[in-house]
Structure 1
Amino acid sequence: MNQTPQQQEPQVASRRFVLEMLGFSETEKALLASTFRLTGRRAFCYAEPDGPAERSDVYLVNADNPSGLQQMEARAPNAYAPALLIGRAPEDSPWPAVEKPIRWMKLFEQLDQAMLAALSMRASRPAPNGGQWNGTDFRRAADRHRPQPELIAPPPAESVLVVDDSATVRAFMRTRLAPFRFDVDYAENGEAAVAMAQAKRYTCIFLDVVMPGMDGYQVCKRIKSDPATRGTAVVMLSSKSSPFDKFRGSWAGCDAYLGKPVGEDELLATIGRFQPSARRVALSILSRG
């Protein structure tokens, strides 16, 4: 028996904020950026600068790296363009901090709070020299001819399939994916999953290993052996996380293997990796190697 979600609310434009990462390695930045792409599905979207001329709205700083703190000091964040620290913040820091390991939803919420406060400050800032400019759209006098932040159209709908015979797991996945406006379908067994994957293109399939009838390994092999579906990312979910179980998943062709219970942060980081935009970036990096 298949379950499909209720009709989703119409997508609305997101407000884009330029986020600059300071004190992170290139690998860390790539991992952070892949998950931040998920915010393109939220009311507030956070993206890296398109180029050196684009001013930052908010700074994300690795507080455990002295270089990151030095770069932040050079950027001089303020109430109109704030900073958020990751890790152990200095005792005298005026900026909020999120502990490591990163909890993604908490990080997104902290960024939202910081930008709501910044927008409020921009709106209340008087126009310089009696000029006519709207503080809601511009964060500094130097930016009065450059509207910020811009509104961006929502990304194309991406479909995700959750295959699990547990109603609890399906409900968990529904709750965690709903804020990001994915088109989510559900299947309770492997036979239904294979049929649905052949009938509809999915960005990612979350696949339980232990199910009645066809198990997850068999389903994964079927999906990865079919030219029409082999490009779909398959993430296996299992309470078995021994090296042998992970090897079986890899041998079946899965792209990732998550242990149950699935953590929210691990789930978001994983699905962020398999969005088409994230895959294009990864291929670009590999091609330069």
Structure 2
Amino acid sequence: MTTRYRVALLGFSAFERSALESYFRLAPEDGRHHTHYDLLPDIVPSREACNFVLADANHAEVRNVVAAAGRAADTVYVGTPHAPPAPPDALADLPRPIDPLQVRREFDAAVERRSRQPAAAAATPVRRYTARARQHAEEQAARQSESGDFSQSVLLGGEGGDGMFDQVLVVDDSEIARRFLQMKLQRLGYTVDTAASGHGALQMVATRRYAFVFLDVAMEGIDGFETCKHIKHMPWPLDERMMRGPVVVMVTGRSGSVDRIRGALAGCDAYLTKPLNEDELIATLSKYDDSFERVFENTVPPLAHL
């Protein structure tokens, strides 16, 4: 019986990727190896998506994504002597040039160690609606279904305010960063759209209603600050609960006071820094989404056996 593990492959040159993918695809299974590793390029390294991560230590954004996902303990880093050292809890910190056999040995050793340990349930916060918000959402969905104009962006609320839209927009010119935050928000119960630029974001906000817009600051064209100003100056309907428009959250690697002031002047409602701190994200969502509760579920991904 062979056990398959999913490995997020983050960074690396085209040549290195090709060599790694060829090795792991063709690696023989003998008496010592009853495991197979499927390399999945550039996926968000959440616990649901992969079991391990193989990361390019020379790529700053890759290091940030792994740290924000909390996956250092499941990651083999590979880098030159000039790359920053791997976190102390990393699976391994290997030198270039890449030795696929050594990479596999590190994964095999981790599998063997963990097979001797009891499985621990991963605690993950999720959203749950209050009873009144859920009832209102179901009534809204039924009316829209009858009219043939059904949308997943259902207004959860009503008199007294017990909820809000499910729809969220993530704006970042980095595909890895977009997909990472998208995955996090989907796990919390939101329906997530993405945009790669400020212009794209403004077009989407003009045609759809969003509860939150998460904006990167440093983007080509109009940056996050300008995008936020445009969103905040849009004419929102006065008969809607969310007459101020969406909550705008700046998400950036800039943590200086000047940037925070610029964000406040642009009208942003919250400011989060990369690598993203999950507790800060949860606190921001809880502040503006009154249907959000912090509860816990077992999200350890099952292993596929063949």
TM over 0.5: no
TM-score normalised by L of structure 1: 0.42
